[in-house]
Structure 1
């Protein structure tokens, strides 16, 4: 009966454990649901790799600012997560070079990160901390015809850098062999980064008060072309003369550049930048109105626009134009997936690596697409689809693995739960095992003793109570090996037990320790012990 009451008392301690177990499960489920909610609300910018077979989604990360998630499009399986260190602005400039995707970000220490990523998820970081950038990425980093051009200042000294064919070249502009006077500041010539210009240019203010220009494209020696203002240069002529000189030195024809006519219906025309004269309309297979031009690489430009003069009445069409062969390739398969309004989105970019057959486009938090311009195949991928791929992963499902990941966080709820699981388990274990242990000890004592009969000659209470029953000190006299001996035995005595001095009792006497135990009929008496 006492044991049942003790067990019931211990079971009461499981009540907090049960309550805390429910709280832990709700907290675990809530955290999992919060993760799913964050993934559903996260914006993803998508890029294709490996001719559309792989997709890289870029989204926010807790530890690095941004992260890339590389997926196999056919199996929808995550291949690799790639940290893309970024500051709070999370700006990215992208380019394709040699079949790899180059992503430029600015980390928390104002150092540019240039991650070149291949279709297997292998990452090569090109910058290696060389490029300091205290401004915004999209103000200091440009993708021009597949090249990536960077300008900035390092220790107050202007520099320019270029990534071409997967290799980074940085030029310190404080070089007396490059410029006659120390440069103080550097600014991009915005018009030179658009169509209608032969080369991108940057304007420098020199320490001696003169103005200089450098090309954004480096020559075979890894240096920019330079032009320093001459005394005869007027304030409106110096930029034009620099552009003309750079085009000649670089071997680029200024007479057949492409530019969108500012006059209605805004078609793409040839443009003579040297003479500042418009030429004929670019003879696309079908007329393209309200046109947009995208400079893809050294040889190719994409022309996208409407098939009607009023874009609201038509649909989007586009052609890939090879400026060397003068050939057109219809790419309506993917550009027609865009509305005309989307063509005005500043986050819409088209990419085509020189020598590759695949044209890509990406748009922040919008679909990405690819097209094999030689074979005609194409594909489209929405950010919501990639989000679903993410949520199908094991870490977003309720399972033993995700619960253990939550458990290892060791938050306050988990710690309290563990404590209240251990306490009743220990108490329950003690209640069950302690009597067994004590009984085992009792039986071992019996085995060491001999059984005999004695007489209680004295008894008195010790003043100690166990379970409200007194612990009584007995003195027992008995015969052992022909001698009269006395031994003291303590035992808890029930109020119901009628025991008094003079009663005969059976004891087990341990001669080696001169100690004895009372025996009852339920005790197992060792077979090798005799009675005196």
Structure 2
């Protein structure tokens, strides 16, 4: 009958909401027209493209497009005419970039909005990886602080705690050289490239570094195979021109001579390319098959240069040509074909760049946003891609066509029109659907939540009215406290209550708790979930001890116990002066799958007395950056109340590494009734400082080692026997603040005064 009634109600429900769809239809037409206009506006124009690059033997083209004050990087397969991938670069408003092709990857350097260097490594398959992870800060423009050398990119900047840093991009990897780590007589305060050092004036690029004591240091702009920089420290504040020979000789001892510039152009007419002698002077003309004049020399790598220029002494009468010259083999290969789309004036532009790896036959070039290409030296094959071809590929991509994906992206941009459309379309539709399907969905959801939950007892910490009413009944917010897997947890739940049955703080109630989602629900009629009972594992033998570092004075350990051919692993902080030993036994407890130490050591295992559980309030939390088995140690100052007495204890516990514990949280602490009474009685006695003379351990109670401590105060010896915090620990010579009894010579620690 219920199903039949629901079917009969459908026409009534539909008529109730149909009036809302009339404005939705009108708005839908407006949205569609605006979406089509947006697609047209989103297409790339010549003015949008900042740079274009080629790599992967001409099989991949990359464009950098400036749109909406952001820099978008797009990768294409130019032969298939399709877009492979794209993303938004974290570029600053100036959108500067430096390219380099190393191996089979394109590397692009940017400066982000925070002034930090960003280097993206682009693979032919469209994958992107960021190389510069050290947060190197560029103090000025990227172009001002970037240099090229033999296919490498060199950056100067700053890092936190370092006044001068050199970043080096070579062999597809990024290396940071902190000048503070060099053997300098004083702190570096500024760094500048030696004039024309990166243009062949010196055999190795050199930076002049001013030190705090006014001395000068000279550092190589590149590193050797071991990623070491060359260094020369001037005795006085001598300029480079006075010590250049000594500097170059010293730096070459570290870097070697394989990086030398081997070819340079004459400064006078007709500006032919000549070999550079060992003393830095120009020697014979480079033996190219045909003479080349008015030359420009581009360093490609440590072996090769590109010599570009005119076939005639007067470039206005000649043709643009070029050769790739290997100064080690003394051979020149024609590259004139790649200049067929360039002009002589383009050689004078900084936007023209060339890249070639030593072992590759492919030479890559890029000229601003107008042209890019790849040239194969063996076969003289040229793959050239002008700007218009790249634009046509981009605008033909699915990103600029009518489709479900582009419409979704358009809607996600938002705006007043989309907002109104959503209100008049989605909200009525949602209400219509919810009216039909929400009740059974809620029943199914609750059933699934209960299936994955456990039933626990919880205390009501506080109850507050929210100001919301449902059917004239108040909705209250209840703060609940309960324990799960040995941890004290607080959660807030909301529920509708009757004015005559408002829950009260301190009242115990039954809840459902989902440990995966860390959510609590109140138990409802018909719900059922089986709570987990603690399982004690008595007499487990310690087989393996692993260290995970120190926290305070303690050592974080992973202890592996064995019993009946089963292994149990628990985290523990070992106090200074105490050692866990393999072969010894312990009692463990398994609470909802989480293992904890119950007792360790012969004296502790055989301790008599009645166990009591106390509730404490956390006053202070100190966390440590150590994770072990998805748990982390925390040190807590906890105030525990027993009768009219309040005791503040420092304890260490392990909590799940995703959980946060805050001051004010309630936790439970277990102890013996006799020990609690003895400690309360001593706290009524005198208090004062005392010095530790001897520390021994009887074992471990829970997470805390049980210590026997001898202390001395005013020439009198007292005995302390109590669990201590393992992170703080107690060592001979420590000063403690204790409560003591002059007759019994018993004492108890009130505060670890030495820490």
Give me the TM-score of the superposition, normalised by structure 1.
0.71
Structure 2: which 5+ residue stretches go unaligned? Answer: 1-17, 430-755
* Match 1:192 to one of 189, 197, 200: 197
From 177, 193, 205, the counterpart of 1:171: 177
Superposed counterparts of 1:297-376, under 5 Å: 297-376=301-380
> What is residue 53 of structure 2 aligned with on the other side?
47
SS at 1:237 equivalent: helix
Instruction: Work out whether residues 157 and 183 of structure 1, in 8 Å CA contact, stay in contact via their aligned partners in 2.
Output: yes
**Paired residue for 2:505?**
none
Task: Determine the structure 1 residue equivalent to 2:37.
Answer: 30
Which whole-Å CA distance do the structure 1 matches of 2:427 and 2:252 have between them? 83
| Per-residue Cα deviation, 1:106-138 (whole angstroms, up to 9, x for no partner) | 111222111121211222211114312222111
Q: CA deviation at 1:140?
A: 1.3
Q: What whole-Å deviation, never above 9, does each CA across 1:387-435 have from its counterpart, x for those lacking one?
A: 111111223223455445434555333454567779999xxxxxxxxxx
1:114 aligns with 2:119: yes
Task: State the partner residue of 1:469.
Answer: none
CA contact 1:197–1:257 (8 Å) conserved in 2: no
Deviation per CA, 1:134-175, whole angstroms, max 9, x where unpaired?
Answer: 221111122210122122222352111222212222221123
Identify the match of residue 69 of structure 1 among 68, 71, 74.
74
Residues 278-289 of structure 1: pairs in structure 2 closer than 5 A:
278-289=282-293
Which residue does the alignment assign to 2:298?
Answer: 294
Q: Distance in 1 between matches of 2:427 and 2:241?
A: 86
Query: Do the aligned residues in 2 keep the contact of 1:99 with 1:356 (CA within 8 Å)?
Result: no
Change (3 A) 1:378 1:185: same
Q: 1:12 to 1:310 in 2, by over 3 A?
A: same
**How far, CA to CA, are the matches of 1:233 and 1:205 in structure 2?**
10
Distance across 1 between alignment mates of 2:194 and 2:130? 28
Distance 1:362 1:224 in 2: 31
User: In structure 1, how many angstroms separate the alpha carbons of the residues matched to 2:42 and 2:155?
Assistant: 37
Contact 2:361 2:377 in 1 (8 A): yes
Q: Which residue of 2 aligns with 1:228?
A: 233
Report what 1:141 is aligned to: 146
User: Which residues of 2 match residues 82-101 of structure 1 at below 5 A?
Assistant: 82-101=87-106
Change (3 A) 1:330 1:30: same
Q: Secondary structure at the match of 2:42?
A: helix
- The counterpart of 2:86, out of the listed 73, 81, 87, is 81
Tell me the distance in 1 between the aligned counterparts of 2:159 and 2:317: 51
Partners of 1:168 and 1:14 lie apart in 2 by 58
Taking the aligned partners of 2:402 and 2:334, their CA distance within structure 1 comes to 48
Question: Secondary structure, in 3 states, of the residue corresponding to 1:308?
Answer: coil
Q: Is the 8 A contact 1:195 1:293 kept in 2?
A: no
Deviations 1:32-72 (A, max 9, x none): 22112x54531141211210111111222558x42321111
Question: Cα deviation per residue 1:78-109 (whole Å; 9 max; x = unaligned)?
Answer: 11114422111111111121221111111112
Shift of 1:261: 0.7
Please say if residues 355 and 364 of structure 2, whose CA atoms lie closer than 8 Å, have aligned partners that are also in contact.
yes
* C-alpha distance in structure 2 between counterparts of 1:191 and 1:138, whole Å: 15
> Aligned runs of 1:404-443 on 2, under 5 Å?
404-407=408-411, 409-416=413-420
The answer to whether the Cα contact below 8 Å between 1:255 and 1:272 also exists between their aligned partners in 2 is no
Q: What do the CA deviations read for 1:345-364 (whole angstroms, capped 9, x no partner)?
A: 11100110121110010122
Match of 2:217 in 1: 212
* More deviation, 133-142/367-376: 133-142
Change (3 A) 1:385 1:183: same
Q: Is the 8 A contact 1:151 1:160 kept in 2?
A: yes
Write out per-residue CA displacement over residues 246-303 of structure 1, whole angstroms, 9 at most, x where no aligned residue: 34553327998321111111111123363x5332222211111110000000110110
Residue range with higher mean Cα deviation, 278-287 or 299-308: 278-287
**Contact residue 269 and residue 280 of structure 1 kept, 8 A:** yes
Q: TM-score, normalised by structure 2?
A: 0.51
1:260 pairs with 2:265 = yes
State how far apart, in whole Å, the 2-side matches of 1:344 and 1:373 are: 24
State the aligned residue count: 413
CA contact (8 A) 1:85 1:105 kept: yes
Partner Cα distance (1:95, 1:183) in 2 = 29
Q: Note if contact 2:296-2:347 (Cα within 8 Å) is conserved in structure 1.
A: yes
Stretches of structure 1 that go unaligned for 5 or more consecutive residues are 1-10, 426-532
The root-mean-square deviation of aligned C-alpha atoms, in Å, is: 3.1
- Whether 2:208 is the aligned partner of 1:203: answer yes
User: Which region of structure 1 is more displaced relative to structure 2, 232-241 or 128-137?
Assistant: 232-241
Question: Are the equivalent residues in 1 in contact too, given 2:203–2:261 (CA < 8 A)?
Answer: no
Considering fraction of residues, name the structure with more helix: 1
Structure 1 Cα separation of the partners of residues 405 and 101 of structure 2: 38
Match of 2:381 among 368, 377, 395: 377
Secondary structure in structure 2 of the residue aligned to 1:32: helix
Q: Verify the 8 A CA contact 1:147 1:162 in the aligned structure 2.
A: yes
CA separation in 2, counterparts of 1:318 and 1:222?
34
Report the CA distance between 1:220 and its aligned residue.
Answer: 3.6
Contact 1:260–1:291 (Cα < 8 Å) also in 2: yes
Higher strand share: 2
What is the aligned partner in structure 1 of residue 476 from structure 2?
none
Deviations 1:165-219 (A, max 9, x none): 12222221123x5222221111111311013531111001112211111101112
